[in-house]
Amino acid sequence: MERLYPYWEKVRRFWKKRHLTQIILLIALITFLLTILFFAWLASRANVESLKEGLSQSTVIYDRDGNKAAEVTANRVGGTKIENLPDHVKNAVVSIEDERFYQHHGFDVRGIARAFFGNLFAGRITGGGSTITQQLAKNALLSPEQTYRRKAEELFLAAKLEDTYKKEEILEMYLNQVYFGSGAWGIGSASERYFNKNIKDVTISEAAMLAGLLQAPSAYDPFSHYDRALKRRNVVLAKMHELNKISDAEYKRAVKEKIALSDGQGTKIKRKYPYYVDSVINEAIKTYGLTQDEILTRGYRIYTELNPGLQTSLEKVYQRNWLFPRGRGGEIVQSGAVLISPKTGGVMAVIGGRGEYVFRGFNRATQLKAQPGSTMKPLAVYTPALEEGFSPDSELVDEPMAFGEYKPENVTKRYAGKVPMYKAAEQSINVPTVWLLNEIGVGKGADAAERFGIPIQKEDRNLALALGGMHHGISPLQLASAYSAFANDGKRHDPHFIVRIVGPTGNEIANHKEETVKVTSKRVAREITSMLLGVVENGTGRAARVSGLDIAGKTGSTQLPYADINGTKDQWFAGYTPEVAGAIWIGYDRTDREHYLTTNASQGTAPIFKAIMQEAKPYLKEDSFGIAVAGEEPESFISKKEILAQTEKLREEVGKAADTIKQEAPKWKKALDTGVGAMLDGLDRLAEKIQELKER
């Protein structure tokens, strides 16, 4: 130690000479002040003045034109006025949640200190210490994450709320938006849910039970955990008695009271366009980090890509049970369909199932994973083949063949020897398509599919990919997004429902970031379209034809895993017009030897797609690609627009010529008359000369 003493003295003298203690304290103080300013600035950005109005409103879904399309509400709109709440209801909540509510200015220093040391010893943020005002700020204005930054924001926002609203207003907002479990948002709904009575009529004991639910609604749910709920109620009653909110006699009577539960209606989830709204909620949760409770209770404004006309068209078609195959074994044939905009990737309409609707249930348009069958052919085979130099007229080999152990077959068991590519697509012929993928290489086919947004696993990289053989499969949304690239000159926009989300105070909390992928060239996209027009005009998709509307598309189906049964497992149709791309799937949720489809896609999905397009046609402006069907006019890929432009140009030139003739005609007539007169005079003189010669 003595040897270290000189060094220590040098450090101490240097420290004192440089005033490092003061500097460190100054830096700490500046950092502290800057931190306070930062969070004060964050709090100032929140428009808390509009919070009360925002919390009393439903979350509203807007369509692509900015018009109100649907509301998402937990039936808490308006809530319960604070003056209609009995004192024992308010006292029960305040006693157990924030006993110093009427004394503090938004946050309670003692509570914060207690929570801080509890979190310190726990080694993580466990919560606690929040006042009712802080809970309101967190529930209404902040994300649910538990971090020190969020906690600091909560403190400053709570202080701003206290400056803006009276205590009774804060308590009213809190009680009307907080969750009481079992689908009940707001204390009025909770009273209806658990006791089937108006909140004005609840007893002290019942009020204490409701207040006790706030700590852990599921854990203290009296329907599921009655004894546990009673113990929690007694804790609340004891706290109310300790704070002199109830007398000795009231306390003893309330503790002995038996709670009579009566399952009331509770909170209803209201919405129009249910499957579309469900998809919006799912995307808001998955992509933008919101929670279901936030969406149902905070009064957000969510702007979407919804096209009400197309959505209504889908819903009308799905009400026509006769369009769908008859169910077997007591189960209905299920289905999912989606329509998206090729120009933006926005989902304009969606249906997630048939039969009884379940809130946020399984959506077969967006969540299904099934093998796509022959709808994969244009994506993984024909597109990369055209990119590699093949053309729609290229001859493909169509004869029985094997590729190692893999031996594909044509459905008809007939083989033509050779067949042009467009005909293989038109009639959905399997063997020449597999042969073509083998020619260009599986790697190129798999890479093309991935560009279309189709997830390809390592085990999918084989020749079976040509016929849609995949281990995990895809959804109608993924398939529609892939086909949308053909209608958009080879460019694909990522599919999405939400454009932006605005919070209850008017601040934008999320917006869609557009992502575009150049899948293939415009030339290839147009050649694929010419081939798929042939599918609908002359091939397996003929049942999807709609008069006066160009539809390019492809059928697809998958085989049953049972060799002794003739039928299909999944049926698909993917198609597009110049303005909309869509895909539809039908099948059973669980296929077995009793539940399978007895028809093919030409008989199943194609007629349904036709019905959808017939309903959608009045909402579509463009009806033609201006592209010839492959095989009919192979020499001409001049678009209809180009033909019309050339016709208009010719008409203008003819018009100009007519105007010139009209203007010059008088001059030409005068010159002609003069010339004719001169010619006649000349003839007269010639006749006279001839006569003179005869007389001689």
Q: List the CATH number of the domain containing 180.
A: 1.10.3810.10
Q: What is the pLDDT of residue 132?
A: 86
User: Of these residues, 58, 95, 97, 428, which one is catalytic?
Assistant: 97
Q: What is the mean pLDDT of residues 257-272?
A: 73
Residue 446 confidence (pLDDT) above 90: yes
387 is a domain residue = no
Are residues 18 and 92 located together in one domain of the fold? no
Provide the 8-state DSSP code for 639. -
* pLDDT tens per residue across span 525-536: 999 999 999 999
Are residues 105 and 35 located together in one domain of the fold? no
Look at strands 59-62 and 301-304 and give their pairing: parallel
- Pick from 228, 256, 284: which residue ends a domain? 256
Are residues 164 and 223 located together in one domain of the fold? yes
- Pick from 221, 240, 256: which residue ends a domain? 256
* pLDDT tens per residue across span 373-387: 999 999 999 999 999
* Residue 677 pLDDT grade (very low, low, confident, very high; cuts 50, 70, 90): low
Q: Residue 97 catalytic?
A: yes
Are residues 104 and 24 located together in one domain of the fold? no
H or E element, residue 303: strand 301-304
Are residues 16 and 88 located together in one domain of the fold? no
Task: Determine the Cα–Cα distance for residues 590 and 594; give it in Å rounded to an integer.
Answer: 10
Q: What is the pLDDT of residue 79?
A: 72
Short-list 470, 660, 477, 483, CA closest to 577:
483
- As beta bridge partners, residue 141 has none
| Mean of all residue pLDDT scores within the chain | 84
377 is a domain residue = no
Count Cβ atoms within 10 A of the Cβ of residue 521 and give its class: 0-12 exposed, 13-18 middle, 19 or more buried: middle
H or E element, residue 27: helix 20-45
* pLDDT tens per residue across span 493-549: 999 999 999 987 788 889 999 999 999 999 999 999 999 999 999 999 999 999 999
Q: Is the pTM of this model over 0.75?
A: no
53 is a domain residue = no
Q: What is the mean pLDDT of residues 655-678?
A: 61
Report CA-CA distances (Å) from 504 to 55, 337, 455, 508, 548.
Answer: 7, 33, 37, 9, 46
Are residues 88 and 227 located together in one domain of the fold? yes
25 is a domain residue = yes
Are residues 38 and 83 located together in one domain of the fold? no
* More confident position, 138 or 404: 404
For the chain, percent of residues with pLDDT exceeding 70:
78
Q: Tokens for 454? A: 């189709």
Q: Tokens for 649? A: 């140009």
Task: Determine the Cα–Cα distance for residues 575 and 525; give it in Å rounded to an integer.
Answer: 14
Q: Tokens for 267? A: 């909170």
Q: What is the mean pLDDT of residues 651-660?
A: 63
Q: What is the pLDDT of residue 59?
A: 86
Q: What is the mean pLDDT of residues 443-467?
A: 96
- Rg for the chain, CA atoms, rounded: 38
Cβ atoms of 431 and 399 closer than 8 Å: yes
Q: What is the pLDDT of residue 654?
A: 56
Residue position matching structure tokens 């905070």: 298
Task: Determine the Cα–Cα distance for residues 64 and 152; give it in Å rounded to an integer.
Answer: 37
Backbone angles phi, psi at 587, to 5 degrees: 165, -175
**Number of domains comprising the chain:** 3
Cβ atoms of 159 and 107 closer than 8 Å: yes
Are residues 26 and 163 located together in one domain of the fold? no
Residue 433 confidence (pLDDT) above 60: yes
* pLDDT tens per residue across span 299-316: 789 999 999 999 999 999
Backbone angles phi, psi at 322, to 5 degrees: -65, -15
Task: Determine the Cα–Cα distance for residues 588 and 596; give it in Å rounded to an integer.
Answer: 7
Segments forming the whole domain that contains residue 35: 5-45
User: Of these residues, 374, 428, 557, 602, which one is catalytic?
Assistant: 374
Residue 455 confidence (pLDDT) above 50: yes
Task: Determine the Cα–Cα distance for residues 23 and 653; give it in Å rounded to an integer.
Answer: 86
Q: N- to C-terminal Cα distance for the chain? A: 163
115 is a domain residue = yes
For the chain, percent of residues with pLDDT exceeding 90:
55
Residue position matching structure tokens 């440089």: 18
- Pick from 230, 256, 282: which residue ends a domain? 256
Are residues 206 and 142 located together in one domain of the fold? yes
Residue 555 confidence (pLDDT) above 90: yes
* pLDDT tens per residue across span 81-96: 889 899 999 999 999 9
- Identity (one letter) of the amino acid at 550? D
97 is a domain residue = yes
* Residue 614 pLDDT grade (very low, low, confident, very high; cuts 50, 70, 90): very high
Give Cα 421 distance to the centre of its chain.
35
* Residue 663 pLDDT grade (very low, low, confident, very high; cuts 50, 70, 90): low
Are residues 136 and 38 located together in one domain of the fold? no
Picking from 222-226, 386-390, 448-452, 480-484, which range would have the lowest pLDDT averaged per residue? 222-226
Are residues 176 and 246 located together in one domain of the fold? yes
Give Cα 12 distance to the centre of its chain.
65
562 is a domain residue = no
Cβ atoms of 60 and 301 closer than 8 Å: yes
* More confident position, 220 or 14: 220
Picking from 57-61, 347-351, 405-409, 538-542, which range would have the lowest pLDDT averaged per residue? 57-61
Residue 258 confidence (pLDDT) above 80: yes
* More confident position, 444 or 622: 444
Q: What is the pLDDT of residue 422?
A: 97
Residue 143 confidence (pLDDT) above 50: no
Among left, alpha and beta (phi > 0; psi -120 to 50; other), residue 586 is: beta
Which residue stretches of 441-576 are H helix? 442-451, 476-484, 522-538
Are residues 26 and 123 located together in one domain of the fold? no
* More confident position, 497 or 297: 497
Q: What is the mean pLDDT of residues 219-248?
A: 93
* More confident position, 526 or 52: 526
189 is a domain residue = yes
